[in-house]
Amino acid sequence: MLFQNHKHAIVLLTAVILLSLSLIACSVSPGATVDSDDTPTSSAESEDSRDTAQDVGEPALSKLVEGNNAFAFDLYQAVRNEDGNLFYSPYSISAALAMTYAGARSSTEEQMASVLHYTLPQDQLHPAFNYLEHRLTNQEADVKEKEEDFILLIANSIWGHAGYSFLPEYLDLIAENYGADLRTVDFEDAKNREQARLAINDWISEQTEGKIEELILDEMLTAATRLVLANAVYFKANWEDPFSNATRDDEFYLLDGSAVTVPMMSRKGFANYFEVAGFQAIELPYKGERLQMVVLLPAEGRFDDIESSLDSEFVKSLLRGFASEDIKLYLPRFEYDASFSLADTLAEMGMPDAFAKYQADFSGIAEMPPSLFITHVEHKAFVAVDETGTEAAAATGVVAEPASEPVVVEVNRPFIFFIRDSESGTIMFVGRVINPTL
């Protein structure tokens, strides 16, 4: 088997590495409002609390997972031409956009559903997201004894401008299904806006154990910003079978044929394995064997072919082909982060209306005209793989503002004025004010 010849096996290990996170999670509610002494932030609790008892059933859950996985690889195809390593959490992006989708209507709703593969109707989709987290939280009991070996946390939050008239039914839906009460902030005042940005970033950092910082950059928020929705995911787990052999420096061959030196881990033992002419694949379980990493290694010269074929059906077929084999595995130790600004990508994938100032329809969030539109979808992710296991984190932020807001004119500096007769056009008086107190 090719894995037995590690110098050949690592030639294309710039390969796709998939964290199989579906149906395995524990959920945490956003908790108390993130406040500092000078951060003008408050929590506007919905009258509804999170529904932790609703069972939507296996058919709805399966549709949700299938749709999320389809979006995961559609997005991969959309971003794979970017240079360098890739890493992202499709679950985080799907969940953050689902909170936004809850208020989408007309063609905006139809386009988002198509791109994100939301095949369930609105009244079933959000309870399904809620049930997925709730069900996975219950499964956490199996690993409580080994808490240090396995952690998977998911949290949501929603930040809205104080005084903006969000629909109560929208806030109730988000609280009930995503565990997020509205945190009211002031986006109009520059100082308060910066404090709100810091509070959002602090919340994300806290939920991801400090691995994701500065998701929301300064220029992303403006005086017109009215809503920021955030999702955070944190994962840390030890391997079921750690890389116990001595790690040593070895060559890793890049796509252009050149080589770099990397710390190469190794281990020997039985693992699920699949091989065809174009690639090899191996499944590496974490403690408890509920989560696995799947490493997909294209043959030399086949990376582009395999990568361009990657979709949810390809992965289903791959997983069905696994069989237990005795494997000598060499895998590089690595750590990196990645970031994406996804607004243009998602628009090009088929949901342009959500980002179009005068076409977006999020009237399910707030009735007051004009309707909100999405200005930013930001995503950051971190991954570290070593001999003992994997640590990964991701966060997604969605920023929205109205198509237009009243222009703010604050006459707080010297000005010129005149008084005119509109019927004849005659200027009757002209003046200037240098100091109003004189």
Token readout for 432 is 């200037």
- How many angstroms separate the CA atoms of 125 and 17, rounded? 28
- The DSSP output letter for 166 is -
pLDDT value at residue 19: 58
Residues 6+ apart with CB under 8 A from 99: 156, 158, 174, 178, 180, 229, 231, 398
> Which of 29-33, 275-279, 286-290 has the largest mean confidence?
275-279
- 415 versus 342: the higher-pLDDT residue is 342
The per-residue DSSP string of 59-125 comes to HHHHHHHHHHHHHHHHHHHHHTTSSS-----HHHHHHHHHHHHTT--HHHHHHHHHHHT--S-HHHH
Tell me the CA distances in angstroms from 180 to 137, 228, 348, one per residue in order: 17, 12, 30
Token readout for 238 is 């030890």
Mean pLDDT, residues 203-215 = 96
Q: Are 329 and 387 in contact (CB under 8 A)?
A: no
Q: Are 109 and 116 in contact (CB under 8 A)?
A: no
pLDDT value at residue 34: 37
Tell me the CA distances in angstroms from 345 to 114, 225, 378, one per residue in order: 14, 21, 11
pLDDT at 25 over 60: no
Long-range residue pairs from 343-349, CB within 8 A, at least 24 positions apart, any chain: 343/374, 343/375, 343/376, 343/377, 345/75, 345/78, 345/79, 346/115, 346/377, 348/78, 349/74, 349/75, 349/78, 349/115
Amino acid at 160: G
pLDDT value at residue 423: 66
pLDDT value at residue 290: 76
- How many angstroms separate the CA atoms of 177 and 211, rounded? 26
Q: Which of 35-44, 116-125, 245-254, 264-273 has the lowest mean pLDDT?
A: 35-44
- How many angstroms separate the CA atoms of 170 and 100, rounded? 10
Q: Are 260 and 325 in contact (CB under 8 A)?
A: no
- 415 versus 403: the higher-pLDDT residue is 403
Q: Are strands 42-44 and 182-185 parallel, antiparallel or unpaired?
A: antiparallel
The answer to whether the Cα torsion of 256, 258, 262, 265 is positive or negative is positive
pLDDT at 352 over 60: yes
Token readout for 252 is 């890793």
pLDDT at 235 over 90: no
Burial class (CB in 10 A: 0-12, 13-18, 19+), 238: middle
Q: Tell me, rounded to whole angstroms, the distance of Cα 237 from its chain centroid.
A: 20
pLDDT value at residue 38: 45
pLDDT value at residue 425: 67
Mean pLDDT, residues 352-356 = 97
Q: Are 76 and 310 in contact (CB under 8 A)?
A: yes
Q: Are 307 and 74 in contact (CB under 8 A)?
A: no
Token readout for 412 is 């707080």
pLDDT value at residue 21: 42
For the chain, domains (ranges, CATH) are 16-238+335-402 (3.30.497.10)
pLDDT value at residue 241: 95
Tell me the CA distances in angstroms from 256 to 80, 82, 177, one per residue in order: 17, 16, 48
Mean pLDDT, residues 135-160 = 70
